[in-house]
Structure 1
Amino acid sequence: MRAVIAMDASDLRSGLIELLEGIEPWDERERAHLATAAEWIASGAQLYRVRKPDVPDMHLVSYFVAFDETSREVLLVGHRAAGLWLPSGGHVEPMEDPWDAVVRECAEELRIPAVPSEVSGRKPFFLTVTQTRGQGRHTDVSLWYVLRSAVGEITSFDEDEFEAIRWLPLHQVLAEPEDTLDPHMHRFTGKLMAALAPA
């Protein structure tokens, strides 16, 4: 039985490396984060959080950005613990595929099904490696997915985790003070805008 579990874990690490290889880096910072994440995955380190909030001190997260393709607005959530406006997301459970984490967390947090956008489908669009703030500081290795949604579709959300939600046009996200958002939100938005621009 142990040999089967080890093989499954090895396959999962290989799958994660493939996901990373499919992400076109937006800038040198993302290129560096992709290299850090690939080295971490290949090292054999524990990838998943096993005890809240910081064990192990580096673990895998799936972010998902709800995006209205017509109005070009994204949904941000006022995260109570972080004190920032962030995309929705959550920790990937042990042996869970990151896309399955998106499906699970989207239903829990936003009460809607996860519908992949045309931007990247079921593959991650962006990757970040970020040290969290506040008590229990740790490092999140975050795969960012883009979901197709619509302004007005999300009518309830996890109020234990989020104070509020709001839709913002992409240009308005860039106008928001960086210290009120996820530290990589401006960079993600720039990458998304570039992907949407006519060839």
Structure 2
Amino acid sequence: MISVKSVSHEYPSGHHINFKDWMIKDGEQWLLLGASGSGKTTLLHILTGILKPSQGQVTMDTTSIYDLSSKELDQFRGRNIGIIFQRPHLIKSLSISENLLMAQSFAKLPENEDRVNEVLNALGIADKKNAYQKELSQGQLQRVSIARAVINKPALLIADEPTSSLDDKNAAAVLELLLEQSGLNHATLIVATHDKRVKNAFTNTYEL
């Protein structure tokens, strides 16, 4: 269960956004919808602990994430939240497998090559295990981004505009993978977008 309660944020410019309360049950799949500049990324950063709101509280199960120290929050995020950005955030000098093992290490979890193989197989890129970022296509990199996000079996999976730069065919494929992987990993899914193409795949919508 994730609870967003009485959350608001004020930017250095003085612009202020109040976010309506939001209750998310375990395993639900949500669309976070809004035009560019509406506050989607700000809310995502608040949900993931990257940005502390001016006021309000975000709770995951029994943990109020902004009551954690910076070090505790980093570890909590690594273990409980998987984030898929528009562009891959990988260490270019490491192979795909090494990047996934490092994600386990950052979360203070034991490195588990069996889990790496399991995830890469599920995403259809097991043959790219020893490849490097520069050797992969855009579609393959998007799959690696999903792999990195789900490697630690997070309770919450967040995708920030995952389809905005993709054509219809690849957008549909990525969306299908996100829904599939959230189900396989028993993760709550939140997809933030202004892309109308993904709207019909979700029954739960939080709109800004």
TM-score, length basis structure 1: 0.27
Kindly indicate which of the two structures has a greater share of residues assigned to helix: 2
User: Which is bigger in relative contact order (C-alpha 8 A, separation at least 6)?
Assistant: 2
TM-score, length basis structure 2: 0.26
